[in-house]
Amino acid sequence: MIKKSISSKIFIVILGFTLSIFVLIGLAVKLFLPDYYVSQKVKAIDNYTSAISADYKILTYDELVAAFEAMRDEVGGDIYLSDQSGQVKGYGKNKKSSVTEVQVSGDLFDYQFTNKMGIEIYSFGVLVGDEYLVYEVSLASLDGAVDTIISFFILLLLISLVIAGFAAYLISIQVTKPIKKLNELAKQMKHKQIQHLQIYSNDDEIGELNHSMNLLYEELLSNIQQLEVELSKEKSLDNMKKQFLAQTTHELKTPLSVIQGYAELVYDKIYNTEEERDHYIKSIYQETENMNKLIIDTLDYAKMENGFFTIEPKDTFVNPWFNQIMSTFKELIASKNITLEINNQVGDLCITMDAFRIEQVIRNLIANAIEHADQNNTINALEHADKKITINAYNLRNHLVIEVINTGKNIAPEDIPYIFDSFYKREGKKNGTGLGLAIVKQIVKLHHGEYRVQNMADAVKFSIII
């Protein structure tokens, strides 16, 4: 199928429109103008002859001649003098001769006849003294005038088609040139090879189209960039999920193996003393706690992903609640050979929060601190050989601020933006699922609070504000 350009289409439309208009007008002239033209001329003759017939007795000779000449000037034809026998005696001011076959009689005569040449003639005469003043016109000459008009109209049509064709060409070029540029711009947008967005600045529809394309392109670019980021995150998230499943499977397998091994030793009574048996039982208990924490984190994360994770905020006096939590961690941290420092400056602060979930936040932060408290920088390892965790709690404009600071290696700057993301495990982290800090983030956000991480001198500080 041959593809027509918009230029040729505009050219054809304009020429077709022009030709159609002239054809319609030509048909109207050919079919209706002759009868209309003749009827108008006959009507004009009737108006003149009626007026002359009514007033010829009171008009002077010169006035009659003036009336006849006015009729001749408007309609055409000849005027002349004739005797009462119908013979031409003299001529009017036009000095044109005519041969008539009129049989004149009476003061007035008005009739049509066909002469020897077969031409239809209209005659009108008035008796002036002993002579007739006669007006005569050939009705065929009126049809000839129409034919002349049509001939001129055809010539005018040809000239108009040439002018219309040239105008159509200029218009098509003027309209299609920016459209072609916009088409090239659209192709460049497709391949993101934009050099100049604004190629047509006129304040018309094409200019608006250019502006709309620019806005659409910018919006598409923004959406594409966001989509690429989301796809990248989704891909990264999928990889993390796979790692999470593998890590979870591994971490469940290890305690299960330990539990199974110790349980078999206890069941088969393969121990030397009761202290050794108690050690096996204690180990089984600790491994079940680890498994329980892993399962709880996994379930909590699943609820967060599906929108089922909720909080139940209540008014809580912070001081007794915080002291109770710290008492449960003192022995645990001490058992890890880590020095614990607690600074409680909350006073009588009372805030609305889900105490159980915020306790979960603190547990996750402390677990994270315990894991990384012994990862000192190599240069200052001897200086800070003692592992230490500092927990600060204070009132900041009726907001609860809790800080958990652990000695150890700083977080790499490239890891900081992702440290609170699900499944993210920074370099050097061997244990855990990567969900602890992600759960911290979600719980704090549900409380409309803030969470932060900050590198310090040979230490890392995690903060939450509720």
Q: Which two tokens stand for residue 73?
A: 């000037």
Query: Is the overall model pTM greater than 0.75, yes or no?
Result: no
Domain 310-465: CATH class, spelled out: alpha beta
Judged against a pLDDT cut of 80, whether residue 300 lies above it is answered with: no
| Residue 197 backbone dihedrals phi, psi, to 5 degrees | -75, -40
**Domain layout of the chain by residue ranges:** 6-159, 310-465
Sign of CA dihedral 232, 233, 236, 241: negative
Query: For residues 98 and 238, which has the higher predicted lDDT (pLDDT)?
Result: 238
Tell me the average pLDDT across 244-254: 65
Give per-residue pLDDT as tens, 360-389: 899 889 988 988 886 554 444 444 457 899
- Model confidence band, residue 222 (pLDDT cutoffs 50, 70, 90): confident
Q: What is the pLDDT of residue 377?
A: 45
Judged against a pLDDT cut of 70, whether residue 190 lies above it is answered with: no
Q: What is the pLDDT of residue 289?
A: 78
Q: What is the pLDDT of residue 248?
A: 65
Tell me the average pLDDT across 110-118: 78
DSSP conformation class of 409? P
Give per-residue pLDDT as tens, 118-127: 778 888 888 8
Tell me the average pLDDT across 236-242: 68
Give per-residue pLDDT as tens, 274-295: 888 888 888 888 778 777 877 7
Q: What is the pLDDT of residue 287?
A: 78
Q: How many helices (H) and strands (E) does the chain have?
A: 8, 12
Judged against a pLDDT cut of 90, whether residue 313 lies above it is answered with: yes
Cα 205 off chain centre by = 16
> In this prediction, what percent of the chain has a pLDDT beyond 70?
74
Judged against a pLDDT cut of 80, whether residue 227 lies above it is answered with: yes
Inter-residue long-range contacts of 175-179, CB under 8 Å, 24+ positions, other chains counted: 175/6, 175/10, 175/206, 176/5, 176/6, 176/7, 176/10, 178/202, 178/206, 178/210, 179/6, 179/206
- Model confidence band, residue 450 (pLDDT cutoffs 50, 70, 90): very high
Query: For residues 386 and 91, which has the higher predicted lDDT (pLDDT)?
Result: 386
Neighbour-count burial of 407, counting CB atoms closer than 10 A to its CB (0-12 exposed, 13-18 middle, 19+ buried): buried
Q: What is the pLDDT of residue 94?
A: 41
Intra-chain end-to-end CA distance of the chain, in Å: 71
Residue (of 207, 208, 210) closest to 196 by Cα position: 210
Left if phi > 0, otherwise alpha if psi is -120 to 50, otherwise beta: which for 337?
A: left
Give per-residue pLDDT as tens, 62-86: 888 898 989 888 888 888 888 777 6
Tell me the average pLDDT across 328-354: 89
Q: What is the pLDDT of residue 116?
A: 77
